[in-house]
Chains A and B, each alone.
Chain A
Amino acid sequence: MLTAELIKEKAREYGADLVGIGDIAGFADEIPQRDPKQILPWATCVIGFGFRVPRALYQSMADGSQHFNYTQLGVKTIDEEFAEIFLLKMAGLIENEGYDACVQRNISNLRIKGDKTTNPEVSDTYELVHAEPVAPGKPTPDVIMDFTRAAELCGLGSRSLRGGVLTPQFGPYVRFVFIVTDAPLACDEPFRRHLCDQCGACVRACPGHALSLNGGLDSWQCAVYYRGAHRSNPFMTDATLKDHPEREAILNGDKRFDAESARAIFPALRFLPMAQTGYAPCLCGRRCDVACYEHLREAKIL
């Protein structure tokens, strides 16, 4: 018999560090393009799974000793391999009991129609601008769940200033996948606490000034500095952007980028290879997350 306890036991056995089950009713106020019921109309719950990203991958970037392994192992391997294998096992377990299991992995390179943001972690993102609903009452595809909101409803953590998830166990060092299912599972309470105390450490840490306490994350600004447009990038040379009229402003993190100007400068920011599957190498060291983690640790919130 499929129970919440069995799901949680198996999730940990298969490699998840965190698991929680959110009642589908909690998603009632989601816009249709984020609504898991549009994926499985008779869904009863959403199961969330968190995978820790090793602390040392962030530490090695903070120390300046190594950067590429964060992208390769902390981003690409978790999203493209580890979590996918995990989802197949977990969903297979649920389907074996005759329930639907709609796996939802991080769709890193797509944006729903109307979402003009980007994902700094990939070579580029594509907004599904031409999409139209397939029938009256249907949402515009693709439906892409808000993973942060889903993690909150599954009781796993709370939203950070930059829009990610902060968890009591790993702070921001965690990635998520979900399964939308009609299995009748006992649900967990949504996460009620706010782990982010608005300390501003993440804002101060960003070399590209991509975060603000009031405005959250400017994803295009983030994408430029994630790729290393800043002076503290260890791969930066005198030749980088040599003839760019705004070189100083860029390297100081003072220039503001939008989608067009960010895409224009991306080709000049090739310091390490794109990972084979289109992931951009992280050369900011995710300093926002490192600063956040240190603050949460010092504040004994973790």
Chain B
Amino acid sequence: MSAMMAIKDSLAATLLKYGADIVRCGDVGRMRDPAVTKIYPGTKSVICAAFRQLRGARRGIEEGSTYYQYTTNAVETLEETVMPMALLKAVAVLEDHGFMALPQRRNQTVMQEKDSTNPEVDYRQIFRGCEQEPQLDFEQCAVDCGLGERGCSGSILTDDFGPFQRYVFILTNAELPADPVAKPHLCDHCGACAAACPGKALDLKTGVDKWQCAVYYAGANMSKNPFMPPEAFLADPERLQLISGEARLTPARARAVLDQLFFYPGVKHGYKTSICGRACDIACYVHLEELGVLKRQFHTPFRKREPWTLPLI
């Protein structure tokens, strides 16, 4: 075994020990995101570590019975606790071998775009237009590292978990053996992700409208939000379109709607509770499970009945 392969194995073992489920590595030559070398010009390899989101964390939303556990366990804890800790431990392995190693997590409230948003956090907490603080294109880097393929919804799909994972990266000047790029074979463009979105935020051609997504992630569609009172948005002239997910929202309008969505408090660390439960990802997972293409099989299918729908009042 080569010395660099031994280092890579040690790095992967550390990441797996601290909670990662999949580790992949890409050489800088195939990384299409210019931010990689902008952030660290000495980058030779990019390591991607993916952490599963528990399927069980979404069960409560599927049943319409429990919402808190998904956001706190499958978003907040992974992003704020588990993945940062694993990154620090893994970076130490590379540093101990004399290499630079720059950890990269999603900074949820910092973005280069001037008027976009991140549905997972309060839009008012986001610092926009931060060109001096470049962020990786996480999905592009995940594909180029060989983690998986990009699905229609924009989510990364893997053989193990479908769309149910989150991931972080390490940029390093170590020339580690690269893994192959995954050959796309999971997403069959069925459109289930787009059809499932309660806010029609996903267009198969143009991608995700982030503001539209943010509003319906937070529960603006009454038929999919058991916490919305009948009097919600009563004074809104577009009420029916809004609460049925038919309204097209400008960023300004989306902000105004988000300010009125207070029916369920956020979890800690400033994360918005997901009321849609990432319906796009769930629909994708259900479809992949039905096709039998996921490596990890469960004794019971995730979806056992038609999704519930509440009446519009």
Chain A residues at the B interface, C-beta cutoff of 8 Å: 38-42, 80-81, 84-85, 87-89, 91-92, 95-96, 98-105, 107, 109-110, 126, 128, 130-135, 138-144, 179-182, 277-278
Q: Which residues of A lie under 8 Å from residue B65 when comparing CB positions? A: 38-39, 134, 138-139, 141-143
Q: B66, A100: Cβ atoms under 8 Å?
A: no
Q: Which residues of B lie under 8 Å from residue A84 when comparing CB positions? A: 72-73, 77, 81-82
Q: A95, B69: Cβ atoms under 8 Å?
A: no
The smallest beta-carbon distance between B43 and chain A, in angstroms, is 29
A158, B218: Cα distance in complex, Å: 39
Q: Which residues of B lie under 8 Å from residue A134 when comparing CB positions? A: 64-65, 226, 308, 310
B60-74 interface (Cβ within 8 A of A):
60, 63-69, 72-73
Q: B82, A85: Cβ atoms under 8 Å?
A: yes
Taken residue by residue from 7 to 47, chain B's Cβ proximity to chain A (1 for < 8 Å, 0 otherwise) reads as: 00000000000010100000000000000000000000000
The smallest beta-carbon distance between A118 and chain B, in angstroms, is 14
Q: B56, A40: Cβ atoms under 8 Å?
A: yes
Q: Classify the interface of chain A: helix, strand, loop or mixed.
A: loop
| Known pairs A39-B60, A84-B73; A100 contacts B300 (CB<8 A) | yes
Q: Can you spell out 24 A-B residue pairs with CB atoms less than 8 angstroms apart?
A: A38-B63, A40-B56, A84-B73, A84-B82, A85-B82, A88-B19, A88-B78, A95-B298, A100-B55, A101-B54, A101-B55, A102-B59, A103-B73, A105-B69, A126-B265, A130-B227, A134-B64, A134-B65, A138-B64, A141-B64, A142-B60, A142-B65, A144-B66, A277-B269
A46, B57: Cα distance in complex, Å: 15
Interface check B185, CB cutoff 8 A? no
Q: A130-B263, A143-B66 are in contact. List 7 more A-B contacts (CB 8 A).
A: A38-B63, A40-B56, A95-B298, A98-B298, A107-B68, A131-B226, A180-B56
Chain B residues at the A interface, C-beta cutoff of 8 Å: 19, 21, 51-52, 54-57, 59-60, 63-69, 72-73, 77-78, 81-82, 85, 226-229, 263-265, 268-269, 296-300, 308, 310
Q: B264, A128: Cβ atoms under 8 Å?
A: yes
| Known pairs A39-B63, A99-B298, A104-B69; A135 contacts B54 (CB<8 A) | no
Q: B66, A39: Cβ atoms under 8 Å?
A: yes
Q: A143, B73: Cβ atoms under 8 Å?
A: no
* A38 to B, closest residue via Cβ: B65
A139, B226: Cα distance in complex, Å: 11
Q: B226, A182: Cβ atoms under 8 Å?
A: no
Cβ contact of B298, chosen from A100, A105, A278, cutoff 8 A:
A100
A104, B54: Cα distance in complex, Å: 12
| Known pairs A135-B308, A138-B65, A143-B65; A130 contacts B300 (CB<8 A) | no
Cβ contact of B57, chosen from A103, A140, A182, cutoff 8 A:
A103
The smallest beta-carbon distance between B61 and chain A, in angstroms, is 9
Q: Which residues of A lie under 8 Å from residue B227 when comparing CB positions? A: 128, 130-131, 141
Q: A103, B68: Cβ atoms under 8 Å?
A: no
The smallest beta-carbon distance between A230 and chain B, in angstroms, is 28
The smallest beta-carbon distance between A1 and chain B, in angstroms, is 13
Q: B73, A88: Cβ atoms under 8 Å?
A: yes
A91, B77: Cα distance in complex, Å: 14
A139, B296: Cα distance in complex, Å: 31
Q: Which residues of B lie under 8 Å from residue A102 when comparing CB positions? A: 56-57, 59-60, 66, 69
Q: A103, B310: Cβ atoms under 8 Å?
A: no
A92, B229: Cα distance in complex, Å: 36
Residue picked from A100, A105, A140, most chain B C-beta under 10 Å: A100
| Known pairs A81-B81, A96-B296; A101 contacts B73 (CB<8 A) | no
Q: Which residues of B lie under 8 Å from residue A144 when comparing CB positions? A: 66, 68
The smallest beta-carbon distance between B140 and chain A, in angstroms, is 27
A43, B205: Cα distance in complex, Å: 41
